[in-house]
Amino acid sequence: MAIDGLIIVENTGRPIVQSGFRSTSPSYPLLHIDALNNALAKSPHSVDPVLYVTPHNTSSATACCHVQCGDIRILCPVSGDVDPLFAFAFIHTFIDILNEYFGNVSATTLKENFDVVYQLLEETLDSGGHPLTTSSNALRDIVLPPSLLNKLLSVAGANITSTINSGSGLGSGPFSSPIPWRKAGIRYASNEIYFDMVEELRAVVNRHGTPLSSHVQGKIETNCKLSGTPDCQLSFANPQILTDCAFHPCVRLKRWKESKVLSFVPPDGRFVLAEYRYAPGSTAAAARFVNTPAPTAPPLNLTRDNVPVPFTIKSAVDLEDNGGSFDITLTSRLTTRDIEHLIAEMHLGEGAGGIKCVTARGGAADRYGRGVEGVGAAWSFDSDKKILRWEIPVVSPSSSWSLRGSFTTSVQTPRPSHALQIRFEIQSHTFSALKIDQLKVTGEGYKPYKGVRGRSVGNVEWRW
């Protein structure tokens, strides 16, 4: 399985850089750029991630897979019997590589470091469309990250790559380490390793508060700053809750299958150690929340794979000929944690305007529309997208918040979206309650500092 190449374009639709496309005609990448620009011109806000491209001097049609990243878009043409998911996986891997090299990926950054970006394209994808080196540790031995010193030495004619490799005494240059994902001879003054367990809840809830679908995807992000070649063993107190696991190549799969222990020699720096899915039983999961549904709502009927949403919403929306009114109340179901950066959005439909809203905590507000405790909840309206946004910086445990207001519309019958799109974060919390039991580091003489923390994010569609 192979892809045809990679193209990076800016917001104006003009290409910045592309891979060689040696096996195709010169017009081949231009056809895919035109297909994307035409699709964006017809529907700027909703473009299919896989676009059909009409054949031109070719035996069959092709497809264009594309991903938005800041103010650039990365295109990956595919043809023949190629799974688009393969193309998307490579695009996201290449975006991670760009983030490692440049920090903030933008059109300006890529233009200023055109030589580095083109070298990365050549090293990560061969002429046949097969991925080559995608490990950032190995790439840094071949393509040096941009810096002022490297640019000055390059202008002066110094071969900085050969100088670094020959002076290290670790071999003949790139790939001198016996472990592909880890450099040789790494040294740190302070040896540390950190684990971030990040879990994302995606759910759809009906108007009665019953989850129609809810699932949690998690990943263990690791930041390793250990000297030498340490051998790590990470064990969990409750590994049975992890399903559909995917691991970094450094993990020894046989050890995981036998004893549910992650045994690995870690890469240097940041990497994702594991990804997993959490599928709890309804009783164990529901016990983690305080169930406070509205009196008129039916009891929650969670299936085995459903995860409880950490808040409830009661909404009342009245639509009239030229507008409507709404009263939305959000109540936290958590008893010990704050819900942070909560944003609820509702599309009010074509022609909506004349928005008047009052936000409050506990259902009460002063004459200025502020909560009785002076907490900074706020609302705003995007007149271009017709989206009403309600932002609450911190939803304290078991607290209740309300948004009341009205709107008008220039069309005869208002047609708002019958759902709220809600995003939020919860610090020091995981939906699965995954717990790391211990981490053993062998093979080196030091005792490293170890840090573990959890974080939850959510994306919920609550229908009314």
Q: How does pLDDT run across 207-244, given as a tens digit for each residue?
A: 888 999 899 999 999 999 999 999 999 999 999 899 99
pLDDT at 442: 93
Q: What pLDDT shows up at residue 321?
A: 84
The tokens for 55 are 């054949």
CA distance linking residue 51 with residue 33, whole number of Å: 11
Question: Edge-to-edge strands of the sheet including 231-236?
Answer: 261-264, 231-236, 436-442
Q: Which two tokens stand for residue 143?
A: 């393509």
Locate the DSSP E strands across 165-321: 192-205, 211-225, 231-236, 242-247, 261-264, 269-278, 311-320
Q: By CB neighbour count within 10 A (0-12 exposed, 13-18 middle, 19+ buried), where does 156 fall?
A: exposed
Q: Note the pLDDT of residue 346.
A: 94
Those residues of the chain that have pLDDT short of 50 are: 161-172, 282-302, 364-374
pLDDT at 296: 44
The 3-state DSSP class for residue 123 equals helix
Cβ pair 266, 193 in contact under 8 A: yes
Burial of 370 (0-12, 13-18, 19+ CB in 10 A): middle
CB atoms within 10 A of CB 263: 19
Alpha-carbon distance 377 to 8, whole Å?
39
Confidence (pTM): 0.77
Q: What are phi and psi of 118, to 5 degrees?
A: -65, -35
Rounded CA separation 410/408 (Å): 7
Which pLDDT belongs to residue 154? 61
In whole angstroms, what is the distance from residue 435 CA to residue 428 CA?
A: 12
User: Are residues 52 and 63 in contact, defined by beta-carbon separation less than 8 angstroms?
Assistant: yes
Q: Cα–Cα distance between 78 and 62 in angstroms, integer?
A: 6
- Quick one: pLDDT at residue 134? 87
pLDDT at 448: 94
